[in-house]
Amino acid sequence: MTVVNQLSKLACTYLAVVVVTGCSNGLSSVRNVTYPPDFKYIERDQLRSGMDEMALHISILDGALQYSQADDPDAIREEVLTALTNIERVASSLQAASAGASHPFMEDHMRSFVATVDKARSAASLAEPRYYFAGKVAGACAACHKVNR
């Protein structure tokens, strides 16, 4: 093997190591060099914990909507409103964290999701609650994750 081939292989190996370490959680200092200064990198654990919390509240909302014709409509409305409030809180924090960040799908779609949650909360608060938008919120996770996988 010639010296040029050996140097070429060494350079490729070095480049691969830099790319892999720049994407790993443990070496954030490498990301300071590999990403522009205004780029906001969201750690996987931070994103997972927010999504996991939102999934819990979506599950509670879904369960409440399944029994929306039950004997105690006020209790169901309260459960729906509490779940929607929690979903909006988590989604808003994820939206704020994703602005200019490493998750473009979230950046593109989280604003409309938060608006839908707000509409759902308003509709569920009416004297005669309407749960159409709450149903859209409950199904939005599956729709977004199916498209963005």
pLDDT confidence of residue 84: 96
- One domain, residues 14 and 63: no
- One domain, residues 84 and 120: yes
Question: In angstroms, rounded to a whole number, what is the distance separating the alpha carbons of residues 116 and 112?
Answer: 6
- One domain, residues 81 and 141: yes
pLDDT confidence of residue 85: 96
Look at the alpha carbons of 111, 116, 118, 119 in this order and tell me if their dihedral is positive or negative.
positive
**Residue 42 DSSP one-character state:** P
pLDDT confidence of residue 88: 93
pLDDT confidence of residue 1: 57
- One domain, residues 30 and 79: no
103: CB partners within 8 A, 6+ apart = 42, 47
Residues 29-39 have pLDDT tens digits of: 655 556 555 55
- One domain, residues 49 and 30: no
**CB-CB contact of 123 with 130 (8 Å):** yes
Q: Which residues of the chain have pLDDT under 70?
A: 1, 3-48, 68-70, 96-108, 144-149
H or E stretch including 130? none
Name the domain count of the chain: 2
| Domain coverage including residue 28 | 3-34
pLDDT confidence of residue 72: 84
Upper half-sphere CA count for residue 122 (Cβ side, 13 Å): 6
pLDDT confidence of residue 91: 87
Tokens read off for 1: 């093997």
Which of 63, 60, 57, 73 is CA-nearest to residue 130? Answer: 73
Tokens read off for 121: 């909360």
